[in-house]
Structure 1
Amino acid sequence: MVHAPASGGYSEVPPPGAPPAAPASCHARHHALRSFSWHRGDSGDPAELVTAFLEDNGLPVRKLGRSADKNQTYGHGAICGASLYVSADAGCVMINATPGGPSPVPVIPDVYAVVWVHTEDPFPGSTGSWNLGPWAESWSPRQHADAVQRVRDAIGRGDVYQVNVVGHASAPYTGDPTAALRRVATLPGARYGGILAAPDGRWAIATASPETLVEVRHGRVLTRPIKGTRPATAQGRRELLASAKERAEHIMIVDLERNDLARLPGTGPVRVDKLFAVRRWCGLWQAESVVSAPLAGEVGLADLLRAVCPGGSVTGAPKIAALEQIAALEPVGRGVSMGALGWIGHDHLDLGLSIRTVAVDGSRVHAWAGGGITADSDPEAEVAEAAAKAGPLRAALAGGLTAFA
């Protein structure tokens, strides 16, 4: 597994159990000081509320990318940084878009932030066995294929250009999920591999996401949209590079992300630094681009979240119209998937898109997978692609497990 450092290259990943995108200085050396939670249906603007919470805890969220006092203390030690999670539904609320169905994991907040302070305590280990039951799908392959066709029909009418369609599955479990979640977080190619859990253990999120939703560092804001998938073989790589359908789908999302960054106040000209580069996640090749802009002025967290959430590569284009299609098509809410999950430090922000992500709620484990649909999409092929994306997550969860009792 790899993690993207400030240089834009790759380095060794955090130890298992570290929060997604946590810097090396905070690995295995942090303790939760205080947290913020917001659920869909709560009052107030979640973007402003979480910004105020983080600002009150000494993080420069009104001036992202500008250094703050990392030695600031609150009686418990120096502030290390903060983890931030924002669900796709919370993103819809932030931009007044149509949210999806109810989350299958309602115990997990739609916005959650936790401020960490330095400590010498190691991450806790697994305390016992873990038994996983059979997976139950929220829709059948036929229903999934029918949803793909309905998107193609909507594209034909001119309602949308592209829509990302996502399916959900869950399985019962007993025992301690810690080791299984760590296997997910250490899947190869996970730029944001890590775990975020409630202090009381009621829920946990594990991600193996390869995709940067938004990063602010060294006076620039950037995103790395991923669109286009093939098996990680020599032939699969050639097919991905040669596919007019995948390239058109990818460029459509790159244009959407360019527009999202351009909407930010205080940013300079937006540019595409890299277009349709191929990188690997587990047994799949995926196409990735890099879009960035200089920060000419002060950019705050609330404006940033409103600009990029929910992520364009998991919604479609135009974003608002695509979200209306998603709400009508998907039988189960996206829960923790397709949102934002990462780190806010004293001099940077790094949020991954919560794809390739699972959640546990004390009795079931949940996973989501899908893909972008265009006019040229083949319904059966889209169903197969979603299964290929979900496969490594399920295999990691099942690795070395005893039969479910």
Structure 2
Amino acid sequence: MSTLGPVVGYWPETVDLHPPGLPAACRGSVWERSRIEWRVGDGGDPLFLLSAFAASHGVPVSDLGATRRVTDSSVCGIAVLLSPPSVTSSPAPSVPDLVAIAYAHDETAHPSGGSRPSGAVGTVGNRTPGAGPASGPAGDWTPSWTPGEHAAAVEEVRAAIARGDVYVVNLVGHAAAPFAGDPAPALARVAALPGARYGGVLRGERWWVASASPETLVAVAGGRAVTRPIKGTRPATPAGRADLLASAKERAEHVMIVDLERNDLGRVAQVGSVRVEELFAIRRWSGLWQAESTVSARLAPGVGLAELLGAVWPGGSVTGAPKLAAIDVATRLEPVGRGPSMGACGWLGHGPDGHVEVDLGLTIRTVAVADGRAHLWAGGGIVWDSDPDAEVAEAAAKTAPIKAVLSSRRR
């Protein structure tokens, strides 16, 4: 594990590189104070390391069922990037498995000792992002499996369902392309895609991660936890909306994941408090309609961030059901590790009343740039009546908006 900071900030100029989840009112008025970067080989439990880091910066997360206050008024909050547990190597190994960055409200001083530039948000290194030549993928995207191999994996899942091993499995594929030049402008465009509830960018010395995720893994405010699973995708057209609403397959898959999320939250909730507040609502992300539900619960006394994430992470919509069996099937079939995708990103901070709040999204619609290559992941839930060719097409539709903005040469 490495601990970095304080580090040098930058003038964002026309490039907005705020971290995912940073409150809009704080953009341009926070500074990176310190960070930790952890990898699986470092040992230890990332969930407890994250909790300890937050507490050390005045954001107590050991009992989210209670209304605790942020104890350091200079701290805005903590940005989080958490990769899902995996036994398969990531194609972007430079990206840490856990990143936690503490940001402070600092109106007076630049961390290096000079005057603080107006509108600064912290980053690593002395180079000003956006100052170099804007660029993007320099070559074609190379998938880690062919469409035929992807379709065959769908058939393998269907066979596992027929044996009774699982009910639904989320299969995730990957593609990579050479990437040259300064990633900042392209990744800022990714983070700004329409519907990106967790749009933002994080970076380290050899890596960048940009999220355009619309999906809430878990949010907590006032002792109430909420998750918003997304399952079901169609083109954002009137016909696509009607087809999604009428699809028995999509609705059945969606309800299975909602039930899984109810059970996950129930492990850390007060008895009888789990509620499905909204079921199969249609939301728009970029050029797609997606079905989203809202599940909530009152947290039991003493439940901290580590216990909460131990119950809900990885999110059911990117695993399947039953969760552990689905993960085993997906791990066997997926061509490469998921890296920072299908994990969590977001913010630990305080609400308007100063009490600790959590807002973490799932790192779907997420791109990593590391060691001269851009990496994308996408997939979908497979059930018994899934059509292999349709599943391949759905994964391609999810990555298309990100590929388009990455390839644009405009700043």
TM-score of the aligned structures, taking structure 1 as reference length:
0.89
Following superposition, the deviation at residue 27 of structure 1 comes to 1.1
Residue in structure 1 matched with residue 360 of structure 2 by the alignment: 351
Q: Structure 2: 5+ residue runs without aligned partners?
A: 1-14, 108-116, 122-127, 351-355
Please say which of residues 124-133 and 62-71 is displaced more in the overlay. 62-71
Question: Contact 2:60 / 2:70 at 8 angstroms: preserved in 1?
Answer: no
Structure 1 residues not aligned, in runs of 5+ = 1-14, 90-98
Report the more deviating stretch, 52-61 or 174-183: 52-61
SS in 2 for 1:264: coil
Corresponding letter in the other structure for 2:385:
D
Question: Is structure 2 residue 318 aligned with structure 1 residue 314?
Answer: yes
> Aligned ranges for residues 228-247 of structure 1 at < 5 Å?
228-247=232-251
Q: 1:33 matched to which residue of 2?
A: 33
Deviation at 1:400, TM superposition (A): 2.5
Q: 1:224 aligns with which of 201, 225, 228?
A: 228
Of 269, 290, 295 in structure 2, the residue corresponding to residue 291 of structure 1 is: 295
Rounded to whole Å, the distance in 2 between the matches of 1:69 and 1:265 is 21
Contact 1:223 1:290 in 2 (8 A): yes
Same amino acid, percent of matched pairs: 57
Which residue among 248, 260, 264 is the counterpart of 1:260? 264
- Alignment CA distance shift 1:221-1:36 (3 Å): same
Superposition map of 1:54-133 within 5 A: 54-64=54-64, 66=66, 68-70=68-70, 72=72, 78-89=74-85, 99-120=86-107, 121=117, 122-123=120-121, 125-129=129-133, 130-133=135-138
Q: Which amino acid aligns with 2:313?
A: C
Counterpart-to-counterpart distance in 1, 2:191 and 2:131: 18
Indicate if the aligned counterparts of 1:164 and 1:370 stay in contact, CA closer than 8 A. yes
TM-score by structure 2 length?
Answer: 0.87
1:179 CA drift (Å) = 0.1
User: What secondary structure sits across from 1:335 in the alignment?
Assistant: coil
Give the match for residue 184 of structure 2: 178
- Contact 2:136/2:409, CA 8 A, preserved across alignment: no
Cα RMSD for the two superposed structures:
1.7
Contact 2:65 2:298 survives alignment (8 Å)? no
SS at match of 1:58: coil
What's the counterpart of residue 93 of structure 1? none
The reply on whether 1:399 has 2:411 as its aligned counterpart is: no
CA deviation string 1:340-399 (max 9, x = no partner): 000000320000000000011131111001000000000000000000000001001011
What count of residue pairs does the alignment treat as equivalent?
373
Q: Contact 1:184/1:207 (CA < 8 Å) preserved in 2?
A: yes
Q: What residue in structure 2 maps to residue 378 of structure 1?
A: 387
Partner of 1:5: none
Q: Give me the whole-angstrom Cα distance separating, in 2, the residues matched to 1:69 and 1:302.
A: 18
Q: Work out the CA distance in 2 between the residues paired with 1:178 and 1:254.
A: 36
From 143, 151, 171, the equivalent of 1:145 is 151
Structure 1 residue ranges (4+ consecutive) displaced by more than 3 angstroms after TM superposition: 65-71, 265-268
Secondary structure at the residue paired with 1:105? coil
